[in-house]
Chains A and B, each alone.
Chain A
């Protein structure tokens, strides 16, 4: 008895489908063979990522593990010639680095708090400037091409070159800043010191913002250009003000790019070493001492590599925790990304 129509395909149809499946399998097999056969196929993806993995291991992972190992050693100039002879000191370096009552521990905590403040202030200012620049250049302002190039100049300059120029400008006796404020405008009577005392912290913030805001600008500009213009047009027709459009359309629609940018930029700023090193030399003033230069000072000025390693390890753990919390709580999840 023949199968009822619609329940099962006729025999001819089933044969045709089987033939098609076989043909597809043969083509797929052909492709795999062309790619190099069974084991080669399995190895191929690993071969592709191997160079990057080896370099990552050599440049990041192994030094990081060595840094953690050093933190448990009494590695000083007496043992640096032969690391294996450096005595194991257990948690001694951590205790010294973390003891708030000790000379070094108190310095570490002060530097840590200062670095957090420096990061938050610099990040907020860099983001605000970057957002302003990006919104400005997304609108139909004249000379957009020129302004875009101009805004990116600090990012294109090597960090050292920019910081050296700022160090000259902030020089107390003949720097351009004092010449402008004291000699030309007469706003100040005495020439203030910018690279010494409390002002040194703000100089650090200014140079950091100058250096990094173009990155924020670039990322935000790219994100803004993905927002369809008709959304704004519809909002404008409904009578939404520019500020309303910014808070209800722009910010939510670039949220994902914004969050990634803030994480990357925050980590860069928190770990900043080049700018204070160029501005202040191998020893920053106390008022502007950040954690990275402090680790450098302990390791290379005082030759206490074990203590420097312990501070680096503490910093690593701290940043890992902060980044993990940020990614878990703030960053968009896979589902949200698909949405």
Chain B
């Protein structure tokens, strides 16, 4: 009897704790008044620069300006990408999170489904100047289609192909490849044993094979180029659709069949590691979103950007996709007890001045249209190329609540295929299809 009483009392404590932890659900959007704000807010920023310290320095400047204008103090924490999603999930489950936070824009729909973030409508939307101020492609990533977005764009990014101009010049290649076939051909030509010791020391292309996000992005982009999407129009996953299989096969073949990627790339977990290989001359080309900081840190200037090759240089519609609409969004936590100040902070971060400052520091693209016309820094060839990609050759990653899981399952399946390829296993189309089918069963 005593045991039962003891068990019951422990369970009741647990139940009370659960109730306390759970007292955090989503609520109705409140009225926002940013006219009279004070106090302190907490801001979780994603790591955009070469290091956490560098990000802190950059963001402290913009935060100081906000504090000076409004009197609101901001407690900043820059969180590495590897931890950000877990930290957000923990905050959502405990109801004890920051007031403002950055998210990868491809997570926006999954995060929206938790109900833990403030919808951007009414006063809040008015405060940040309305959606027309923003690049439409970036704005579309704020949440599920047809629903009020729960995040607004902060930094815009897109994939481009970056290549080492010195290696291209030495090989007498004047123009970057436009089509996939040309790209593979050029990559093969540039895969060389430059010092004559019998082993390849320069590869035509480099990739972060263990980065599941990079792999998932390529499945999306290459799949679209082959005319297939990862989800049906009804929102059902179709990871093993013919187009996706063909696209993923092309990606894996760069290592398996074309042999233009070093097998060691299968171990790279971070995109910046492959960018460094281009800077060091170990590889000629890489697909990346914002390699500027890595190149700058190595004082490397011999590079140029070009569009990601398409199957056909004249492709149109979804076959002309070169990138997903990449970028970072900013959200306000629904449980914030200083929502007025939080909204004012988002307004500050998306203002023309701060957009100009932040995106120059982080080598990203502003998310507000006006900045492109006002600032000379955003009229360079590289920026104009990226702007063109975002406007004409980019699509948001699937706006499905299971998007984050899709990135994990599909990206991990491709990572495993690349690992097999690196160890000399031949990868057939059936292997790719089977891996993607297995990935899909994980979603059921």
On whether the two chains bind one another, the answer is yes
A residues with a Cβ closer than 8 A to B are: 57, 61-62, 65-66, 69, 77-78, 80-85, 103-104, 171-173, 191, 193, 195-197, 281-283, 285-286, 300-303
* Residues of chain A with a CB closer than 8 A to B263's CB: 172, 193
A82 touching B267, Cβ below 8 Å: no
Residue contact B89 to A80, C-beta cutoff 8 Å: yes
* Chain A contacts for B212, CB-based, 8 A: 283
Interface residues of B in 17-64 (CB under 8 A from A): 17-19, 21-22, 24-26
Asked if B416 is at the interface (CB within 8 A of a chain A CB), the reply is yes
Q: Which of A66, A196, A282, A283 has the most CB of B within 10 A?
A: A196
Cβ A302 vs Cβ B93 within 8 A:
no
Is the Cβ of A80 less than 8 Å from the Cβ of B408? no
B371 within 8 A of A: no
Indicate if the CB atoms of A62 and B13 lie closer than 8 Å: yes
Q: Are B22 and A65 in contact (CB under 8 A)?
A: no
- Taking a contact as CB atoms under 8 Å apart, the answer to whether B18 and A66 are in contact is yes
User: Are A81 and B409 in contact (CB-based, < 8 A)?
Assistant: no
Query: Which residues of the other chain, A, contact B441 by a CB distance below 8 angstroms?
Result: 103
Given contacts A193-B266, A281-B210, A302-B408, 16 further A-B contacts (CB under 8 A): A57-B10, A65-B14, A66-B17, A66-B18, A77-B404, A80-B92, A80-B114, A81-B26, A81-B95, A81-B114, A84-B19, A103-B444, A195-B267, A197-B420, A300-B86, A302-B442
Q: Which residues of A contact B14 (CB under 8 A)?
A: 62, 65-66, 69
Tell whether, in the assembled complex, residue B114 and residue A78 are in contact, meaning their CB atoms are under 8 Å apart: yes
B89 touches A57 (CB 8 A): no
Known contacts A57-B13, A84-B19, A302-B442: A197-B93 contact under CB 8 Å: no
Within 8 A of A (CB), among B103-121: 110-111, 113-116
Majority DSSP secondary structure for residues of A touching B: loop
In the bound complex, how far is the Cα of B19 from the Cα of A81, in angstroms?
12
Determine which of B11, B115, B267, B438 lies in contact with A81 in the assembled complex, contact meaning CB atoms within 8 Å: B115
Give the interface of B toward A (CB within 8 A): 10-11, 13-14, 17-19, 21-22, 24-26, 82, 85-86, 89, 92-93, 95, 110-111, 113-116, 210, 212, 262-264, 266-267, 269, 401, 404-405, 408-409, 412, 415-416, 419-420, 422-423, 438, 441-442, 444
Q: Are B18 and A173 in contact (CB under 8 A)?
A: no
Is B110 a contact of A77 with CB atoms below 8 Å?
yes
Q: Quick one: which of A61, A84, A282, A286 contacts B10, CB cutoff 8 A?
A: A61
How many Å from the CB of A139 to the closest CB on chain B? 43
- With CB as the reference atom, state the residue of chain B lying closest to A297: B408
Chain B facing A: main interface SS: helix
Chain B residue, CB-CB nearest to A172: B264
Q: Cα distance A69–B14 when bound, in Å?
A: 9
- List the B side residues contacting A82 at CB < 8 Å: 22, 24-26, 115
Which chain B positions have C-beta within 8 A of A80? Answer: 89, 92-93, 114
A193 with B422: CB separation less than 8 A: yes
On whether the beta carbons of A285 and B24 are closer than 8 Å, the reply is: no
Chain B residues with CB under 8 Å of A78's CB are 113-114, 401
Which residue of B267, B408, B438 is within 8 Å of A193 (Cβ)?
B267
Q: Is the CB–CB distance between B82 and A282 below 8 Å? A: yes
Known A-B contacts A171-B267, A196-B267, A282-B82; A83 and B21 likewise in contact (beta carbons under 8 Å): yes
Given known A80-B89, A193-B422, A281-B210, contact A301–B13 (CB-CB < 8 A): no
Name the distance in Å between B11's Cβ and chain A's nearest Cβ.
7
A residues less than 8 Å from B26 (CB atoms): 81-82
A/B pair count, beta carbons within 8 Å: 106
Chain B residues with CB under 8 Å of A285's CB are 416, 419
- A292: min CB distance to chain B, Å: 15
Q: Which residues on the B side are within 8 Å of A83 (C-beta)?
A: 18, 21-22, 93
Query: In the complex, A53 Cα to B157 Cα: how many Å?
Result: 51
- A298 to B, closest residue via Cβ: B442
With a CB–CB cut-off of 8 A, which chain B residues contact A65?
Answer: 10-11, 14
Q: How far is the CA of A105 from the CA of B92 in the complex (A)?
A: 28
Q: Check if A77 sits within 8 Å of B401, measured CB to CB.
A: yes
- CB contacts (< 8 Å) of B415 on chain A: these are 283
Could you pull out 6 A-B pairs where Cβ atoms are within 8 angstroms?
A: A80-B92, A81-B26, A172-B266, A173-B267, A301-B412, A302-B405
Residues from chain A with a CB closer than 8 A to the CB of B262 are 173
Per CB-CB distance, the 8 closest pairs between chain A and chain B, nearest first, are: A173-B264, A82-B25, A83-B22, A65-B14, A196-B419, A103-B441, A81-B116, A301-B408
| Min CB–CB distance A60 → chain B (angstroms) | 12
CA A197 – CA B14 in complex, angstroms? Answer: 42
Once the chains bind, are B22 and A172 in contact (CB under 8 Å)? no
Given A62-B13, A65-B14, A66-B14: A193 touches B115 (CB 8 Å cut-off): no
**A196 CA to B420 CA in the complex, in Å?**
8
Whether B412 contacts A81 by the Cβ 8 Å rule is no
Chain A neighbourhood of B405, CB < 8 A: 301-303
Question: B230: shortest Cβ distance to chain A, in Å?
Answer: 16
Partner of A300, one of B85, B114, B267, B423: B85
Chain A residues in 8 Å Cβ range of B13: 57, 62
| CB-defined contacts of B92 to chain A, threshold 8 Å | 80-81
Q: Give Cα distance in the complex from A85 to B22, angstroms.
A: 9
Q: How many Å lie between the Cα of A193 and that of B412 in the bound state?
A: 18
State the CA gap A82–B334 with chains docked (Å).
12
A197 to B420, CA, bound (A): 7
| Neighbouring A residues of B420 by C-beta, 8 Å | 197
- Min distance, Cβ B436 to any Cβ of chain A, angstroms: 13
Q: Which residue of A lies closest to B110 (CB)?
A: A77
Q: How far is the CB of A327 from chain B (nearest CB, A)?
A: 20
- Contacts A65-B10, A85-B25, A286-B416 given: A196-B423 contact, CB under 8 Å? yes
What's the Cα separation between A281 and B86 when bound, in Å? 14
Residues of chain A lying within 8 A (CB to CB) of residue B266: 172, 193, 196
* B19 partner residues in chain A, CB cutoff 8 A: 84
B439 CB → nearest A CB, Å: 9
Closest-CB distance, B415 to chain A (whole angstroms): 7
> Are the C-beta atoms of A103 and B438 separated by less than 8 Å?
yes
A311 smallest CB distance to B (angstroms): 14
Inter-chain CA distance A282–B95, complex, in Å, is: 24
Minimum CB–CB distance for B204 against chain A, Å: 16
| Known A-B contacts A78-B401, A82-B25, A193-B266; A103 and B18 likewise in contact (beta carbons under 8 Å) | no
Q: How long is the Cα–Cα vector from A65 to B419 in the complex, in angstroms?
A: 39
A57 vs B10: C-alpha distance when bound (angstroms): 9
Given contacts A69-B18, A103-B441, A303-B405, contact A77 B113 (CB under 8 A): yes
CB of B423 within 8 A of CB of A197, answer yes
Choose among B95, B113, B409, B423 the residue that contacts A302 (Cβ–Cβ < 8 A): B409
Which residues does chain A contribute within 8 Å of B111, judged by CB atoms?
77
Q: Which residues of B contact A171 (CB under 8 A)?
A: 264, 267
A187 to B78, CA, bound (A): 45
List of A residues within 8 angstroms of B408 by Cβ: 283, 301-302
Interfacial chain A residues near B11, Cβ < 8 Å = 65
A81 pairs with B24, CB closer than 8 A: yes
Smallest distance from the beta carbon of B384 to chain A beta carbons, Å?
A: 36
